[in-house]
Structure 1
Amino acid sequence: MEYSEEAKQVQKVSEYVVAYDFEVHDIIGTITWFRDCRTILYAIIGLYLFGVYFGEKWMKNKPAFKLTLPLFFWNSGLALFSIVCTLRGIPEFLFLLSKPDGFYLVACVGTPHNFATSFWGLMIVVSKIVELGDTVFIILRKQKLIALHWFHHAAVLIICWIGYEYYETAGRALFVNTFVHSFMYFYYAFKALGIKIPKSVSQALTTLQIVQLAAGVFGAIYILYLLVVQGRPCRMHFETFSLGVSVVAICLVLFIRFYKQSYSSSDKKKNK
């Protein structure tokens, strides 16, 4: 399916952002590819979990790699990518949110829409594959690999991939995630250099992630309210909704548990 020049102009120029030429792409063709190639997603997740399990076994009797500079550049690159994503994608989210009934527009209504938002939404999905490399550094440096880490990485990739297949309008909220990641990856970059960062910064970042997840759960409850109580239509597929709610709720519980273990005085004594 080809877009007419008029349709391209509508999606390229808007009140909140003007798309660059490289951001104008075949949205329908890309969605179709993702739908036809979901087996690739399952293969990636399978290889990732295989690597997590056997990677730790392989490193068990080997000395840890330092990887100071590679880790710094890795995290810095992801931080810069997150900033660009946020700057290009979040204007549409904020523009719709500022309107009357803004949350409904963000979560359930497909228009107005812009090529820039779509392009960087696609880049976020691709980045979730790249971010699996975070785990490689943890394993090679022989750091403690907690369940929250690998579950979060695998689950978010699945949600993003399937969400893009259905081209969910609520995917606009992913740019809130890149906003959080902008701070998070810069924190990891400085930490990789051995720079001493106050514990309060780490605590604030974890709190920010918890707030983000809690907002996701609240959003899901509100969408149910719109559908069931108000009977309003919402452009959201059941598979994405059910999977997304489940994963976000589980991650919220795991993050709260991690927060308590890391920052609660009684739990900190136990960990020591």
Structure 2
Amino acid sequence: MLLLNDSELRSFSEFSFERRFDERGAIRWMQLHWSKSFLFCALYAALVFAGRHYMKPRPRMNLRLPLVFWSLSLAVFSIVGAVRTGSYMFHVLSSSGFRRSICDQSFYNGPVSKFWAYAFVLSKAPELGDTAFVVLRKQKLLFLHWYHHITVLLYSWFSYKDMVAGGGWFMTMNYAVHALMYSYYAARAAGLQMPRPLAALITSAQIGQMLMGLLVSALVFGWMPQGDCPSRLDNVVWAALMYLSYLLLFSNFFYQTYLRRGAKTKSQ
């Protein structure tokens, strides 16, 4: 097991709430209660499809101001999370190399990163609220949308309790992509005209995240037998299947939205 030493951990500048955070208690809680994520997902799915049925004969809601507030809140959270976890990952990469950045478990209990790792996994529950705006505004509900929300919540809670290798990469990448994505959503909801290439850039970043997730999963699988990259076979398998399905779905979305539709527009 690879862990940063005390002198390396003390090199980070911490906020008081990050320093006081009890990661051991958080991990114990998740070990006892992670299965409740299935309840959240079942309730989410029921409310989503019941909500669509309820809204079918009713006019769409505007919800512009609540959507601005919602997206802006998640954007700020994701930006701060990306900066704080990114600083940790950059430190490990620059001081100890790529392998250690994947296999090191100190992401779960180090200063700065320990709070944001737990905040990340918990945030996947309230992020389900994204779909409420889709349903109430009667927008098209993609399979990619609700499938992604459900599987990220299940995998995040399942993995955090075991402090599996690769978590630092998974969480930091997601924070960074969400920082860009929710900032874009907030600007759109506020009525700002956003350039179309920016939307394509966000989807491209998501595809890149999935490719990197597959690479990290493959490396963890290859390094596990050596004993210094702690994970479990079932976790690696679920991670690989999850990232592969995301890669296919996001790639198809990119093709249908930006390539095929763009080609049709030019031909008209």
For the criterion TM > 0.5, the same-fold answer is yes
Deviation, 1:12, is 9.9
**Mapping of 1:225-264 within 5 angstroms?**
225-227=222-224, 231=226, 233-264=228-259
Map 1:28-177; keep pairs closer than 5 Å. 28-100=24-96, 102-111=97-106, 114-173=110-169, 174-177=171-174
| 8 Å Cα contact 1:12-1:18 kept in structure 2 | no
- SS of the equivalent of 2:62 reads coil
**Following the alignment from structure 2 to structure 1, what is the Cα–Cα distance between the partners of residues 144 and 106?**
35
TM-score by length of 1: 0.88
Deviation per CA, 1:2-50, whole angstroms, max 9, x where unpaired?
Answer: xxxxxxx9499522x2222212222222111111113321110110111
Q: CA deviation at 1:232?
A: 5.3
Letter in 2 for 1:20: F
SS at match of 1:195: coil
Tell me how far 1:262 sits from its aligned partner: 0.2
- Aligned 8 A contact 1:11 1:115 in 2: no
- The runs of 4+ residues in structure 1 deviating greater than 6 Å are none
**Aligned to 1:211, which of 191, 208, 212?**
208
Distance 2:149 2:263 in 1: 25
Cα separation, partners in 2 of 1:26 and 1:73, compared to 1, 3 Å: same
Secondary structure of residue in 1 paired with 2:13: coil
Asked whether the equivalents of residues 155 and 247 of structure 1 are also in contact (C-alpha less than 8 Å), the reply is yes
Gaps of 5+ in 1: 1-8
Q: 2: CA distance between counterparts of 1:46 and 1:246?
A: 21
Specify the code of the residue in structure 1 equivalent to 2:63. Answer: L
Query: Where does residue 264 of structure 2 map in the other structure?
Result: 269
Task: Point out where structure 2 has 5 or more consecutive residues left out of the alignment.
Answer: none
Q: Is the 8 A contact 1:79 1:185 kept in 2?
A: yes
Three-state SS of the structure 2 residue aligned to 1:115 is coil
What is the alpha-carbon distance in structure 1 between the residues aligned to residue 55 and residue 13 of structure 2?
48
The percentage of aligned residue pairs carrying the same residue is: 32
* Amino acid across the alignment from 1:179: A
Indicate conservation of the 8 Å contact 2:79/2:175, yes or no.
yes
* Displacement of 1:207: 0.4
State whether residues 221 and 236 of structure 2, in contact with CA within 8 Å, keep that contact through their aligned partners in structure 1.
no
Between the aligned partners of 1:195 and 1:111, the Cα distance in structure 2 is 41
Q: List per-residue Cα deviations over 1:214-238 (Å, max 9, x = no partner).
A: 111112222233346xx45311123
Which TM-score applies when normalising by structure 2? 0.89
Name the CA distance, whole Å, in 1 between partners of 2:152 and 2:32.
20
Task: Tell me what 1:180 maps to.
Answer: 177
What RMSD, in angstroms, separates the aligned Cα atoms of the two structures?
2.3
- CA gap 1:150/1:99 in 2 versus in 1, 3 angstroms: same
Letter of the 1:154 partner, please give it. Answer: I
| Of 140-149 and 80-89, the range deviating more from structure 2 | 80-89
Contact 1:34 1:165 in 2 (8 A): yes
Structure 2 residue identity aligned to 1:53: F
